[in-house]
Structure 1
Amino acid sequence: MTVPAGAHEHLCRRLVIALPGTYEQARERFERAVPVADELGFTAARSWQEVAIVVQTNAPHGFMRFRRGDVAVLPPTLSPREQAVQYLIGNHMITQTVLRREPSAMLHTALPAVIYRDRQGAARLAVDQPGLPFASYDDPHLTTVGERLDALLGRLICVLGGRVPESLGSALAHHYGLRSAGNDTRSSPRPKSLQRAELPDVAT
């Protein structure tokens, strides 16, 4: 697949999720659920099977952290109440799958996410729905990748204790058999592991 040069429009849907507990508790839960990427482990991998093992160990809920940036870097006198931290999260297997299919679509494989405390002191997660940009390529393989990311994001929201938006509900149910209502992860089935066979066929 080759995307022609030029301007290409796609839909964007921002999701703002209420999280239980304090801002500090929500941030700590997020960082436990989305560990720092094990770059050394991925560099040492010699096969897709070894990559899958690193992913399953490093990203128990499908995502790992590539970057963290604390927004509250100004002195308290200039920013006394606002608290927020930015992340860039993703999955190496999904990124490589997209790279082999359409390099320009890698723009959407790493998801910016923000954990912040709102004006009322409540913890929030803000993230764009990942599936919508992939659907704009008119390629069923990339659409499937987007649906997978929607499902992973829905699962992560469950783990964080948030309520999954309806826009992620169908992907969550399709991939994991989980309903978006309730989100009682204690009784939920374990998510499928991210093995090579479960990703779209991108052989060239």
Structure 2
Amino acid sequence: MSDTDRYQQRQQKLKSQIDERIASAQHERGLVLVITGNGKGKSTSGFGTVARAVGHGQQAGVVQFIKGTWACGERNLLAQHGVQFAVMATGFTWDTQNKEHDRRAAQAVWQQGKAMLANPNLDVVLLDELTYMVSYDYIDLDEVIEVIEHRPIDMSVIITGRGAHRRLMALADTVSEVQSRKHAFDHGLKARQGIDW
């Protein structure tokens, strides 16, 4: 048997296994995705999924916690395509240095997020940097879980941020962990528009 024949057999076996898994996946509903870890790209991944949905003609909403005062290329682009945004707009917690102010700001934007999560016209909702709001106890974890569990059945939810609570990961259908192996900032390189924000 030639190398070409062996390769073709392996690929045919792999194709059969994949086809079988696709055929057995018969349930359809909105998904919960958690993108966590200490590496760069969690929000970018979430926004990429929103962009994909919009590209398929779906309706999306984004709730931005923490980074709301920065220029946001994704927001600049996606808002032009009808994506709803709710932005905390206080910046990073180390900028404000006012826990009660940050808690009130988180609660205000969370109210907008809850409205999005109840909106049957939205297909996808991104809760960007939500994990921090839970770990800082600005937003109640039980409430977050309850709202997500009672969303419209076809709505998908994306949660991003470091240190995702184990209950959020248990709730999720898909969990991805972004690991940092090397980061330009650690070597004195400035964040770049279009790459880092």
TM-score by length of 1: 0.28
Greater helix share, 1 or 2?
2
Structure with larger Rg: 2
Relative contact order (alpha carbons < 8 A, sep ≥ 6): 1 or 2 greater? 2
